Amino acid sequence: MDTWDPALKNDTNLYLKTEFPMCIFIDPSNWTLLYNKAFVPILMAKHPALGKQVKDVWPKIYEIRISIDVVTTGESFYSHDQHYILQCDGYYESVYFNYTYNPIFKSDGKICALWCITQETTQQVLNTRKLK
């Protein structure tokens, strides 16, 4: 961390202290995953994944969202009630999330990391379906 840009240090300090599920993907050449305690339930069977490359933890997300949407445009990406099938306790579970990827820029203007804020919305999606 001593060699990290001040912007990345500040953002890392913020996300580690929040109670909301957040993670940071650092190092665009390898996209390494860092996350706070609140993010652990989202990882499900993939925890512990701290310090692992994102492409090894979530290959589909790595290929589509990170590479194309955020890095190439430098703009944030938001997804509402996005459906995923994740492995939990040896079985696959259908889950929904709201999430956003936001670039973290170094002082030279280059992207050094992505900040991901996440909220599981599975119960809301299912309740809405029941009401229809």
Question: Which helix (H) or strand (E) covers residue 11, if one does?
Answer: helix 6-17
The per-residue pLDDT for range 19-57, each reduced to its tens digit, is: 999 999 998 888 899 999 999 988 877 889 999 998 898
Question: Which helix (H) or strand (E) covers residue 98, if one does?
Answer: strand 91-105
**Cis peptide preceding 28, ω within 30 of 0:** no
SS3 33: strand
Q: How far is residue 81's CA from residue 95's CA, in Å, rounded to a whole number? A: 9
The per-residue pLDDT for range 54-107, each reduced to its tens digit, is: 889 887 766 656 656 788 888 998 889 999 888 777 788 899 999 998 999 998
Domain range 6-131, CATH class:
alpha beta
Domains of the chain, by residue range, sit at 6-131
The answer to whether residues 120 and 95 touch, using CB atoms and an 8 Å cutoff, is yes
